[in-house]
Amino acid sequence: MSDTRTGTIRLVLVDDHEVLRSGLRMLLEAQPDMVVVGEAGDGVEAERICRELMPDVVLMDIAMPGRDGIETTKRLTERLPGVRVLALTMHDDKEYLKQVLAAGGAGYVVKRAAADEVVAAVRTVVKGDVPLHPSMTRALVDELLGADAKGRAQVGADVYPAARPILSERETEVLKLAALGHSNQEVADALCISIKTVETHKARIMGKLGTRQRSELVRYAIDHGFLKDVQSPG
């Protein structure tokens, strides 16, 4: 895993296009805190390499021959829980986003994103946050709530009687902001608290909800109506 002395982020690149992997390697290794330790062109090879190298982050393509990125993400997150998988795909599609999150993915970035967005997403994943483009987050919220769920949400807070009481008011604020893709720093700035306090609140929230991954917080917030009155960041 990452070198605790230097803070270097160790990455594996998984994509069936060698040219794209080469470009990503150049981009990421130009960063002072990142090193690419391995590459794979398919899901089977990716699992083997990750078992051997135990990287911090895997940049995972979705559409690959043989075992695809969704199935590979599921296998990696189940068998190597310390490895975070960041989907990097050409598909700007909420259906793929939902599949990635359901498989245990730690974030979702489209390949047309600017280079600095990809770099920032890697660092965000390492910090334990979930990098999702605001438009993708809102699309996911709207899709999962659905027209019927939206109608029920208008009835009142007792639509989800067990969801809200278990979280304090501050924890609820942190959950909403984190689920919409804000980093710990952005949450701290928005609520005028320290990053350490944000991390403490997140740990308590995850303990109360019985979740292990940040992506599960996103799904919980969506499924329990926490985001119905919240605007996406940006």
Task: Give the Cα separation of 39 and 64 in Å (integer).
Answer: 14
Q: Residue 39: its pLDDT value, please?
A: 97
- The HSE-up count of residue 49 (CA atoms within 13 Å, CB side) is 23
Domain extent for 37: 9-126
Quote the pLDDT of residue 234.
44
Domain count, the chain: 2
Helix axes 43-53, 69-79, angle to 10 degrees: 20
CA 8, CA 78: separation in Å to the nearest integer? 24
pLDDT digits (tens, 9 = 90+) for 8-17: 999 999 999 9
Please tell me the predicted confidence (pLDDT) of residue 129.
79
Is 151 found in the same domain as 121?
no
- Asked whether residue 138 is domain-assigned, the answer is no
**151 and 121: one domain?**
no
Q: How many CB atoms lie within 10 A of CB 62?
A: 23
Is 195 inside a domain boundary?
yes
Helices (H) and strands (E) in the chain, counts: 10, 5
pLDDT at 136: 67
Return the pLDDT at 127.
Answer: 85
Specify the CATH number for the domain of residue 87: 3.40.50.2300
pLDDT for position 117: 87
79 falls within a domain = yes
Instruction: Look at residue 229 and tell me if it is in a domain.
Output: no
- 131 assigned to some structural domain: no
* Whether the Cβ atoms of residue 104 and residue 73 lie closer than 8 Å to each other: yes
Amino acid 144: pLDDT: 57
Q: Is 183 contained in some domain?
A: yes
pTM for this one? 0.63
Measure the CA–CA gap between 100 and 107, rounded to whole angstroms: 8
Does residue 174 sit in the same domain as residue 215?
yes
CA distances (Å), origin 182, targets 90, 123, 152: 23, 13, 27
* DSSP per position, 158-206: GGSTTTSTTS-HHHHHHHHHHHTT--HHHHHHHHT--HHHHHHHHHHHH
Residue 161, domain member (yes or no): yes
Q: What is the DSSP letter of 41?
A: S
* 16 in any annotated domain: yes
Tell me, yes or no, whether 20 and 111 share the same domain: yes
Q: pLDDT averaged over consecutive 10-residue blocks of the chain (234 residues)?
A: 66 95 94 96 96 96 90 93 91 81 88 87 87 66 53 39 57 84 86 87 80 75 69 46
In this prediction, residue 72 carries a pLDDT of 96
pLDDT value, residue 119: 93
Pick the closest to residue 174 from 123, 124, 230, 132 (CA basis): 230
Q: What is the pLDDT of residue 219?
A: 77
What pLDDT, on the 0 to 100 scale, is given for residue 30? 95
Q: Retrieve residue 16's tokens.
A: 């069936």
Do 154 and 212 reside in the same domain of the chain?
yes
